[in-house]
Structure formats: C-alpha cells, structure tokens
Amino acid sequence: MNIQKSINLFQQAQTIFPGGVNSPVRAFRAVGGQPLFIERGEGPYLYDVDGNRYIDYVLSWGPLITGHAHPKVVEAIRNAAVKGTSYGAPSPLEIDLAKSVMDFMPNIEMIRFVNSGTEATMSALRLARAYIKRDKIIKFDGCYHGHADMLLVQAGSGVATLGLPDSPGVPANTVKDTLVADFNSLDSVEALYKKYPDQIAAIIVEPVAGNMGVILPLPGFLEGLRAITSREGSVLIFDEVMTGFRVHLNGAQALYNIKPDLTTLGKVIGGGLPVGAYGGKREIMQLVAPLGPMYQAGTLSGNPLAMSAGIAALNLLREDKCWEKLEQAAGRLEAGILSAANKAGIPIQQTRVGTMFTTFFSETKPVDWNTVKGADKIRFRKFFQKMLGNGVYLAPSQFEAGFISIEHTENIIDATITAVTEVFRTW
C-alpha cells in the first residue's frame, strides 16, 4: 500500500505542529507506523491523500453516526452557510436542536449549548459546585472528561494512550479537590464520602466508560451512584459525550434507567461539527447566567452551522428502524470478530454496548482501569497495523472505542469480518 504522500506530509507537519498533529492520539504513537493524512470521507469510508480507501470505525471519534458527508447533513450545512456562518446572537436553530435533544433525553429539562465536550463537562461541574456549594468532585480512574485542568487526573483516552497519568502544567491546587474512585467500585466511592463528609459536590461518570475502551458498568454500579449522591446531597453527572445516541437512542440513562441530575453531550448532536451541551434539572440549570449567577459563555455557542447539521443528523436517527439496524450491524460485527478470534485460538475480549465496541487482547474481561491496563498492547498494535493493511481503519489505541454508522451496511460489515478473519488466520 502506497502512503508516500502521507509520509511527506507528516514530515512537514512535525516542523509545524507539536508531534505533527493537532490531537495526540492521531500521531499513531501507541500503534507505530505512519499516521495517515485524510483527503475526504464518504459514507463508511475514509480516503487518504494517496488514494487508499478504508472502512472507518473511528468516525471522527464517534460523532459521525450518520457516516461521512451524509447528503442531508451536507445540504443542511450548505443551506445554513449561505445565510452566514456565525451570528453571535440567538437563532431559531438553537431552539429547534434543543427541542430535538430534549425529546430524545427527557431528563434534560433545560439545556445550554457549548462548543465541545470539554466545555460541557467543565461547565456542568462548575454548575454543580455552585448549586451544592461544595468544592470537591469525584471522577473515576481511567475516565476522560476533557482536558480541563481539574479533570486531567488519572484520565483515560489520549492521556492513557501516551502513558501519562496526568499532565505537567496543571497546578496542584487545581486538582486538590478532584477525588478519584475506581470504576465499578461503590466501596471506593463510599470511602471518599467517609473521608470527606459534606464536602463533595458531584460525581461525574461515563455511564459506559468509553475512554479506556468500552467498559460496561457492573450490575448495581450506576444505581449505587444514584443512591449515594441522593443520600449525600451531591449532584450526579452523566458524561454522555460519547455514550449519547450511541449506547441507546435515548442515552445510557435510558438504557440503564437511571435519572442523572445533569447530562453532558458532545459532537454527535452537531452532525460532526464542533458542539457540545450540558443540561438537566431545571432547578439546577436556572443558576446559569444570565438567569443565575453561575457564569459561562461562548462566542460560537449555538453556531448556526452546527445547529443545522445537528438537526439533520438527529432527524435521520428518527427514521423507521434506524436504531435497530445500527445495533444489528454492531452485533453482527461483534459476533464476526469473536468467531474469527476463536477459530484462530487468539484470546480476546470483545466488549460492545449499542454502536460502541472495543477489541481487547486479554484472557480476562476488563471491568476497570486496572484490568484494562493488563490488556496486551503489543498484540493490539499488531492487530491495528494488519487491519489497516487490509483496508480497515480502527482507533489507533487499545484504550479507545470503535463506532458504527448508518452507512455500515451488511456488505461493509461482512467485508470487515473477512479482513479480521484473514488477519487472525495469518497471525
């Protein structure tokens, strides 16, 4: 496979950008080899600058649930762009998208649009502290909630990929109120409440951890968090930046029947354009400026291009049996990968919820960050490179999720299973 143009561009990029990229995982450091420079996306495919085509399971790290350049999403963006790319003022589009999101997620009674998932989680935590009038928060080991200083503590995602437990440049005072519990361990949460009585404002959790691979909550874990926060007068925040519209059409909160106080969402609500949101109980959201004293602002919040793309994308998800087809495709892929591995005698753990999945090279099922770290990263690296050579683009890290779009038809899934089978056969 010829990738000479990507090689040349990466050499040039390394003189301009730190590490040659504008987001760390893109550098392929965890999987080796040469990062590909992409020229375009179409449906389930990516095309690199050398003309190679790949079946894409990264999908811009999840938001492209309608696939690349879906005609209806593109049309919505085009129609919005000719009217202006940014207003810095309210638009009817904001109301339309908000109503659509809230229709899917009825636990969100009021909502505020921002520009990224990081902004959403940062703002939700500030709001929780303002509401409860306490300073400390609990996050979970291996869960990533964006790159805000207070959240870069034992985080997953790119931090895990690069082997960084946190980040230089984060002042100690900034993270002193960030407490870390073990994912899927209620005992570790209870211990923190015992140690810091009446000091914890909120728990923030990925209800399905997607930033250390796809890790499911054990039975009773989310229910326990809801019970503990209700008992202790803390805010429960579901970070659904990744799981929203991915593990269930109505989010993880519907899948597991848990009502969080606040919810954060990411780019999936913007058709792949930069957008995020936080929302939840009216009594809490009423503290947000200008209605209340908790300040948060954004010049491009509610951007008409992102709003239009989001409206179009969510409308597509409403089409008859759309979600059922998505989940069937994901289940078909999961079964195919497992079958190929079993036939080849290669121990893997295939985790999946809805349209999110991860292949762990491990003999034991991962349930938290400690067990995730035990997965064989060398084998994953080999798997990634071989799949890439067979025309399948996976997330370049053992600690990331894969995603399905509505454009991943049976033929696309079957082609992927054929590639997996060939990779494992020649392992």
Mean pLDDT of 96-123: 97
CA angle 283, 289, 291 (to 5 degrees): 55
Has 239 been annotated as catalytic? yes
169 band by pLDDT with thresholds 50, 70 and 90:
confident
Mean pLDDT of 312-324: 95
Topology agreement, domain 4-69+320-425 and domain 71-317: no
Measured torsion, CA atoms of residues 154, 400, 201, 181, in degrees rounded to the nearest 10: -50
- Show the DSSP H helices in 14-91 as ranges: 71-81
The pair of structure tokens assigned to 35 is: 């990062």
Has 196 been annotated as catalytic? no
Answer left, alpha or beta for residue 52, where phi above 0 means left and psi between -120 and 50 means alpha: beta
**φ, ψ for residue 384, nearest 5 deg:** -60, -50
Answer CATH for 71-317 from 3.90.1150.10, 3.30.450.20, 3.40.640.10, 3.30.565.10: 3.40.640.10
Over the stretch 203-224, which tens digit does the pLDDT of each residue have? 999 999 998 999 999 999 999 9
Q: Which of 56, 141, 239, 368 is catalytic?
A: 239
Q: Which amino acid is at 360?
A: F
Q: Which of 144, 193, 278, 393 is catalytic?
A: 144
C-beta contacts of 150-156 below 8 A and 24+ residues apart = 150/122, 150/125, 150/174, 150/175, 150/177, 150/178, 151/121, 151/122, 151/125, 151/178, 153/178, 153/180, 154/180, 154/369, 155/211, 156/209, 156/211, 156/212, 156/369, 156/399
Has 139 been annotated as catalytic? no
Q: Which of 45, 56, 261, 267 is catalytic?
A: 267
pLDDT, residue 43, reads: 98
pLDDT beyond 90 at 170:
no
Exposed e or buried b for every residue in 251-267, given b needs 16+ CB within 10 A?
A: bbbbbbebebbbbbbbb
Question: Span 4-69+320-425: which CATH code?
Answer: 3.90.1150.10
pLDDT beyond 90 at 280:
yes
Would you list the domain boundaries of the chain?
Answer: 4-69+320-425, 71-317
150 band by pLDDT with thresholds 50, 70 and 90:
confident
